[in-house]
Amino acid sequence: MIGRFLTGSMVVLLSGCSSVSYYSQLAGGQWHLLRAREPVAEIIADPSRPQLLREQLAQSQKARTFASQHLRLPDNQSYRLYADIGRPYVVWNVFATQEFSLSPENHCFPIAGCVAYRGYYNQGAARGEAALLRQQGMDVSIGGVEAYSTLGWFNDPIMSSMMNWGDERVATLIFHELAHQRFYVKGDTEFNESFATFVEQEGTRQWRASRGLAPLSNVTVKQRDQFIQLILDTRERLEALYAQPLAADAMRKAKAAEFEHLRSRYRQMRDTQWSGDKRYDAWINQPMNNARLLPFGLYDQWVPAFAALFRQEGGDWVGFYRAVQALGGLALQERRTRLRQLMNEHQGMEAQMIFDATRHK
């Protein structure tokens, strides 16, 4: 679902920020969140609390237990607490790039390393930062975040912002955020988010199967994958464009043409392959820039590689995490070379499966 790309994980660390004001809002926001936490078990047992909330939290705890017992994710107090934050998102992430670049403006912290966004607990502050960056001629995008991981530094709560999309969405967020606690490579956002996204997707598949539910619709999954690939293809086309020695005006026109090409390809795919399904129309019809494409590269780039690694480990979660840790221990370029090899293996296996299915029809 497109909501996945408007959300994600932000690591909040309380030191090393580039300005006193930014440091203060991070510290204050995290402190208020910690103070708002309540044990989920107490809320469920309290008949004075809203019945829907109690039911939602009861379901969340089943997913939380599944995460540790079956997905081998950390077994601690994270997501066994609840915080009502009174707003639709816990933070708003500001992504920015240069006008003719798809490289994010990174922000570095002592423990988390460099991440590709800045997070704000106040939407107005995020908009203010975005306005300043636009004045500098940068491409900017703001994305609301439903949940984030503190990498085990605190017991992260289920937040009211996580409850808006139903029980399964809460489960997927728990799986994703606990994956960050399970393993994290300092300074490699693409690796960390792709790893957590794979754990989220495979974990959700297994979570549904454990409850006797059918897999997610093949149509839904196929459309999601096709849409992601469409965006990734556009990123590649833009990267090739920005490498050309064009004058700024010519580059600007060519950039706008690429975004129109993206919209045209989307509409053709929607109308000829999706029977007119408009689930991504709202996203595709908004003003487009480089920064809006960043989450796709960050959260999805290496997901197929982790899928191939999971298959290599025979679907064993402990073995998979061990292999991920070994992969994360490689030097950056060596790690990316290995990830590309895994991507090729994944593509080869998918091609073989399609061939086998066609041959046996």
pLDDT tens for 46-58 read 999 999 999 999 9
Alpha carbon of residue 180 to chain centroid: 11
Per-residue model confidence (pLDDT) at position 215: 82
Per-residue model confidence (pLDDT) at position 357: 46
Q: Could you tell me which residue, 114 or 43, shows the higher pLDDT? A: 43
Q: How far is CA 55 from CA 51, 167, 297, in A?
A: 6, 9, 36
pLDDT-based confidence at 216, cuts 50/70/90? confident
Tokens at residue 316, please? 């064993």
Domain positions in the chain are: 3-210, 218-359
Q: Of the given ranges (9-23, 188-202, 339-353), which has the lowest mean pLDDT? A: 9-23
Per-residue model confidence (pLDDT) at position 111: 60
Which of the 8 DSSP states describes residue 122?
Answer: S
The residue-averaged pLDDT of 261-285 equals: 96
Number of residues written out for the chain:
361
pLDDT at 10 over 70: no
Mean of per-residue pLDDT scores for the chain: 89
Q: Are 93 and 133 in contact (CB under 8 A)?
A: no
Per-residue model confidence (pLDDT) at position 112: 63
Q: Are 141 and 133 in contact (CB under 8 A)?
A: no
pLDDT-based confidence at 9, cuts 50/70/90? very low
Residue-wise pLDDT tens digits, 128-160: 999 999 999 999 999 998 888 888 889 999 999
The residue-averaged pLDDT of 334-350 equals: 89
- Work out the percent of the chain whose per-residue pLDDT is above 90: 71
Taking the model in full, what pTM does it have? 0.81
Residue-wise pLDDT tens digits, 109-121: 666 677 788 889 9
Residue-wise pLDDT tens digits, 289-328: 999 999 887 778 899 999 999 999 999 999 999 999 999 9
